[in-house]
Amino acid sequence: MKHQNILLISLIFLAAGCQETPPTTTSDTNYPNNRPPLRPNPYIELPLGAIQPEGWLRDQLETMAEGMTGNLDELYPAVLGKRNGWLGGDGDGWERGPYWIDGLLPLAWLLNDDALLGKVKPWIEWSLENQREDGYFGPVPFTIPPDPEEGIQKTPRRDWWPKMVMLKVLKQYYMATGDERVIRLMTAYFKFQLKELPVTPLDQWSFWANRRGADNLMIVYWLYNLTGESFLLDLAELIHEQTFPYTRVFLNDSCGRYNTLNHLYHYNTDNRYPFDEDLIGRLCIEQLQSFHCVNLAQGIKAPLIYYQQHPADKYIKAVKKAFADIRKYHGQPQGMYGADEPMHGNDPTRGVEFCSVVEMMYSLENMIQITGEMDFVDHLENIAYNALPTQASDDYSGRQYFQAANQVMLTRTRHNFYEDDSHDGTDLCYGLVTGYPCCTCNMHQGWPKYTQNLWLATADGGIAALLYAPSTVKARVADGKEISIREETRYPFGESILFTLTLPEDASFPIHFRIPGWSRNASVTINGRLYGQYDGGRIIKIDRDWENGDNIEINLPMNIAISRWAENSAVVERGPLIYSLKIDEDWRFVANHDKFGDYWEVLPKSPWNFGLLQSAVDDPSAGFEFEAGKLEENPWKQVNPPGQIRTLGKMIPEWKLYYGNAGPLPHSRPQLYLRDKRAEEIILVPYGWNALRITEFPVVE
């Protein structure tokens, strides 16, 4: 099925007039940076295909290809079959088709997989070959409203929102092929938008486009950097004006604890807001409307996308304040927030939607390129190595709609979620369409786009490794010299990362490396000689003359640390991973015949209601013992954990099930007194490895 020669894959598109090589640079660096008057970015995305996954990461991507990602058209044909509106049909014509291709396309290129690329081709070709003369592209609007069909989103076909997803797809396709038809389509479509948005604004057909306008804006800027057409900057201002005013809302201090990130959920029926300052205040004070979880994950980048055109400090301040508020009022330790689907507080049993996980990753990936902020990189890595792997089954045949930091029973029952009724209690079960089907299609962008951001070009003509995973990159540096760097590592399970350079000739250029915020006394060696030692939260820039075969080794000591969360609970961390109680699991298949399809329930076979000892929390180096494990081909599969932590805990009899979840978290201040209870050994494993878990622990005497 797989052919490792990328030329074979490129040949699939030659009949359509595609180029075999990516487009040439349009800036004084090796890859296109922002054109004036846009602010230059410190980091630049490499062409799709420049980075090749290796080791456990490649196995993860191959598992996706063999599972839902590579076969969703066969598993979900009612939506992704030939009737889909994005293939010219009369069926589903909204977001789910573009969602799937948004993950499938980069996966196909990363694996050099011609079979997957063959599945992508019809979606690309239909969009490119069926644009109207006025610039509109996408599913053909119905003249007569169609009859509804259960589970199919036929309308609204004119909605601006799904086209934003397909614009992301076409951008990736262009970066891999250089097909100039993409430039022509986008140019015509953006002229259409400039003409139509004053009459039919982003929120004309749904409020989703209004909340997610940054996805539209970022592609406008990307095209401007390639073509330099000034009308695109006018369109950018219009899109920003019609997008929900995230900057003003994030910076609003007048609401105190009851800010907009802490509000009850409510759909505004007319889907419109005039965005005046008085209204923004009322959104806080009257608690009329809060963020939908996925809207927040996508919209949080909006201030920084616009910052490229208007680089004022308030845009960075707004995003940092938003993250601080989310952490305080809704945060969970895997980097996400309780929102099932509205924002719902910081209880560790609150649901986290899969769409929110992958969209927050995508937002952070773009914000890192714009700002180079190390807090954003740490946050992205936290989500990728904790939240992302656990929400899909090991073989990628099913997924949860919601995950939670503390989840001890995954059954079809009420869970005290906002969506309990409409999803009939299926939100935590592993299935194809349990909960709600949007995540079935959108989940696939997580790992491929993370892989695509392992390496970035730098504005100073070098290369940057800000995220770590086994991979090889080929890139142009210095004055256009092509180099290759191989990264060998067990990270995030191991502490050492080895980089080996392959150069056709000696070259001088900078390499940027990140020292994570959690790291202390990290060391960098070059060709076996110590280069320096550093504490975390910084970039190490090594600018020197490099020779073929040079190697750099980074060692990041991973010490056990404790962070505090809801009800003063304790979370155990080691490096980029958080650790959860290992609970023996009983997986039960349920053959189901309603709209939620077949699914798996998971029940506990061992106790879960443990607290950590105060003495261990006070002195983690003495209270916890780490044991390295064997690194399987796919470390997230439940065979052997890639590492575990032993400690002592006490069972808390009063902590019981509530609505199929772990009950209310006992408060740890100063601690629970269980002096008459015997401490017993418990084992903690990486959060992403198991399905059942306690992650936020009460602390006991």
The residue ranges of every structural domain in the chain are 455-555, 560-700
Angstrom distance (rounded) from CA 674 to CA 390: 32
pLDDT of residue 152: 96
Q: Is 353 helix (H, G, I), strand (E, B) or coil?
A: strand
Cα 41 to Cα 35, 224, 460, 468, distances in angstroms: 10, 14, 10, 21
Q: Are 357 and 386 in contact (CB under 8 A)?
A: no
Q: ∠ CA 204-205-210 to the nearest 5 degrees?
A: 65
Cis upstream peptide for 141 (omega within 30°): no
- Alpha helices by DSSP H, 67-159: 68-75, 77-80, 96-110, 114-129
pLDDT of residue 677: 87
Query: Which amino acid does the sequence have at 564?
Result: R
- Specify the pairing of strand 610-613 against strand 699-700: parallel
Which residues have CB under 8 Å from 214's CB, separation 6+?
A: 243, 298, 299, 301, 302, 305, 306
Using the 8-state DSSP alphabet, how is residue 148 labeled? P
pLDDT of residue 639: 80
Q: What is the mean pLDDT of each run of 10 residues along the chain (701 residues)?
A: 38 38 46 96 97 97 97 97 97 98 98 97 98 97 93 95 98 97 98 98 95 98 98 98 94 54 36 43 42 95 98 97 94 96 93 98 98 98 98 96 98 90 94 97 98 97 98 94 97 97 96 97 98 96 97 98 96 98 97 96 97 96 94 81 96 93 87 85 96 97 86
Which residues have CB under 8 Å from 84's CB, separation 6+?
A: 91, 92, 93, 97
The CATH architecture that domain 455-555 belongs to is Sandwich (2.60)
Angstrom distance (rounded) from CA 361 to CA 348: 20
Q: Are 558 and 574 in contact (CB under 8 A)?
A: yes
Gyration radius of the chain's alpha carbons:
25
Burial 231-266 (b: 16+ CB within 10 A, else e): ebbebbebbbebbbbbbbbbbbeebeeebbbbbebe
- Specify the pairing of strand 643-651 against strand 680-686: antiparallel
Ordered strands of the 522-526 beta sheet:
51-53, 471-477, 481-489, 496-502, 551-555, 522-526, 529-534
Structure tokens that stand for 22 in this block: 């990516």
pLDDT of residue 18: 39
Tell me how crowded residue 507 is: count the other CB atoms within 10 A of its CB: 18
pLDDT of residue 13: 43
Nearest to 288 by CA among 273, 266, 321: 266
User: What are the pLDDT digits (tens) for 228-287?
Assistant: 999 999 999 999 999 999 999 999 865 444 344 443 333 333 333 334 444 444 444 333
Using the 8-state DSSP alphabet, how is residue 481 labeled? E
Angstrom distance (rounded) from CA 542 to CA 467: 17
pLDDT of residue 23: 37
